[in-house]
Structure 1
Amino acid sequence: MWIAGAALVIMLVLTLYAVLRGAGEDPKTETPAKGGASPSVSGTASPAPTYEQPEDWTEPERWSALPRGKSQDEQGSPKGFPKSAEGAVAMMAAANASRVEGDHGIVDEQLRTYRAYMGAEDTSETIAEQIELAGIEADKRLAREMGIRPGQPLPAGAYLRSHVVGYQIIEESGAEVSAWLLVRQVQKSGEMSPEKGSYLRTLVGAQWMGGDWKMTADATARAQEAMEGKSDPEMVAPGDEAFNAAGWTAIREAS
């Protein structure tokens, strides 16, 4: 399965981290499935095989209705999340919700997320240019995957989407929160094509800055340090009995 589009926001954080730190391959990186592609140079996001909900639904033991942002920016990205652990996770979930369809491509989503959710100290024109170039290349790969020429809008009914379905908080304080995110990604190549889905997990760190939560390289680095020597949580869908054993909290619609 081609997964780069749905993983684009997750990969953006990790690309930024690698650029800022001059990092090489992260030791916890897991390679995408054969045929996959990613605009990132390193990271901890991990693809899982396509998964279908089991017939016997097991109710998640932990649920959370994450708060909404108080407003939106000019690109429609939610902002103004409350200063709480759930507020931080709500920002992370918003940053990792993506929709690529029509003439709205991967590069558009990457730059939107970068401008909306990265801390000011982690932004620069140089990094923005690198993210844009990576997004352009990812859009070209997606076009070839869907049988169209690069630069054309996606076919009618085609899309790449992702949304966060679960999380685990690693560490929290009044001004910093780190968490694992469980992301559901889906892909459709056209109106008559079947939808394909898979899961990703990614590690994100956020800091309270200027009255809102922002993802930062420093917080993400500290999250990685906190996970040293520990096992990554299993990627399992809500409704699977292993979801509870893996320690995930399921997400309801925002309140």
Structure 2
Amino acid sequence: MSEVRIIGKTVEEVPEYKPTLVKILNIIAVIFAFCVVLVIYIPNSIWKDEDAVRAISRKRMVILNEVEKFYKQMTGFYQNDPLLAMKVLTAVRDSTRADSNFFGEQVVKLPEGRFALTVPKNFYLTFDTTFSFGYFKKDTIYDTTYQVLKWNEEMLTNDTVYVLADRYRELRKSDSSFRKALGSENSTRVQINRYYRPFYLDTTFAYSPLIKELYQISSDTSKVRIQDPLKGEFKEKRYLFFAFKDTSAGYIENDEKSWKD
């Protein structure tokens, strides 16, 4: 009798490939990564905007504080209207730049009225150096050196000295010890000078960059306070789910800031 053997075979199951599911998972991963980037980037961007607006507001208050000090120096009192204070100072700056004799007791006429002022000489220079940023520039100076003969009263003899052109002209005009010029020599030299660009008081400096209201100025004969007009919290929607938030940028009272630089 013959024997029949059945040999069993092991069949491995191959997983079915599902391209639609893979695509969905990839899309979900991309969306998730995009959301993570937004959650990190957008708040940082908003915080930078908040810091920038606050810095602008405080810079404007610093400018107004300097304006008030100049106004007090020339009039004897502070001006609670920042626009008018800037207008008066601008008129004085322009007048001193156009006319070197515009200093001392002067009257500035504006549509708002007549303003009696005590104007420092060359005020425009002080104005620009206070508000503007300086820059350095190399200048080539052309000059002439003179060999001059002068009488020395103590030694009872003539001395030879060397002077530049400006000094030489002064000696010839007003120095009785001057005898004559023995010779001259032209020269050039490079000199580094500091300059200041003209600064202009824009009306925007009087307003809060956030709520577009005038800064509040209160004063008496001895003190002045410049206050951010924002009361409470400012909130503005950004990108649907985020918000720009800020509070008062502070104040300056008698040169003392309410914030730390």
Q: Structure 2 length normalisation: TM-score? A: 0.25
Q: Which has the larger radius of gyration?
A: 2
Bigger relative contact order (CA 8 A; separation at least 6): 1
The structure with the largest helix share of the pair is 2
TM-score normalised by L of structure 1: 0.25
**Greater fraction strand:** 2
